[in-house]
Structure 1
Amino acid sequence: MEEHTKKPGYMLLLESRGIAAGGYFCLGAPQGKNCFRVTGDCRLLDLDGALAALDENRLWEQWDSLTPITRREFIAARDALWEARRAADGRPTDAELEPLARQFAQEYAAAYAAGRWKAFCTWDEETLRRILLRAAALLPGVKGARAARKKAAQLFSEVIAAGLKSGLAGPRRKKGRQGQETPPGG
């Protein structure tokens, strides 16, 4: 005999709006911070992937603004939130990284021996990974998101190793509460 798990009370509310486990919804406009994901085990997660501070009462109070959204809309809202945080922290936004990614891809593919691409190792780890992911997609022979992620991981190792060897970068150190990493002296 199968063992049935009891669903939280808010799942009946969500299901009545067409939102099942594995679905996405928002309270208000999808561009806001009030977008949530329902996991397979019926937990509610916010845009950061943390447990949402929602309960059945709050969902009842916001019943009129409760709307299902697509995964694509959820990801767009999450990306917009992260972009706003990066901009507020003074870190480069995605738009600011595009020219850097094109520059890296061009220097890596066309002038590898010159080694100018090694200078990218001075960026903090998160920014470097974001640059390399975009650059990997621009390199010849890289087709699809999975291949780009794999190539970006390879590029990251290569850039850091080259930076350490040439003395452009030292070991990565943690900085601040947020765990942002910066190269020594930076």
Structure 2
Amino acid sequence: MLATSMTSVVAEKDSEEDDKIEKTIKNPFKISIKGMMKCGHRSAYAVLINSIEEVKFKEYGFTGKGFLRTSHYYLSDRTGKFNFDATRYATDHKLYLNITHYCISDHEKRNVYQNCFMQVKHEIKGDLRAIRFDLNEIDLEEFNYQSEDVKCVDWPYKYPKYYETKHNGDL
């Protein structure tokens, strides 16, 4: 099982100039992330969530930063709760939740005839060497979970047409 692969090695550098402790993970290990999504004071159900790590890479001689998806995609349940497992590759990398949600506080950005959503990142803070993260409540209406980039796609069905109902007295 993955319990044997949770080994981490802490090696001190010998030079006096660099007395930092370098943390190296020999094998990736499993972590558990749980919490609850809220939209205002209500539970936010069907919020698409996955975990990502910020990684450094070299490409054509330049160093850059990017994101590595470290879990499958999950949906929050009817009560807004989520609980899933992910893989951790390095403890010194920042860990984020990648959140796709429909809790858009600015009603002018919505289109009733389309399915509108936005994508944001939530940084997981605390001891990044931990294997269990309880994020408690995340209120998606807060400013830092709102994005200027709202994407709207057509619904997979046609919007129903409403006809005027005529009663016996209206004839």
For this structure pair, what is the TM-score category when the shorter chain's length is used for normalisation? under 0.3
Give the number of the structure whose alpha-carbon radius of gyration is greater.
Answer: 2
TM-score normalized by the length of structure 2: 0.25
Flag the structure with more relative contact order, 1 or 2, with Cα contacts below 8 A and sequence separation at least 6: 2
Between Structure 1 and Structure 2, the one with more strand by share is 2
More helix by share: 1
TM-score of the two chains, using structure 1 as the length reference = 0.23
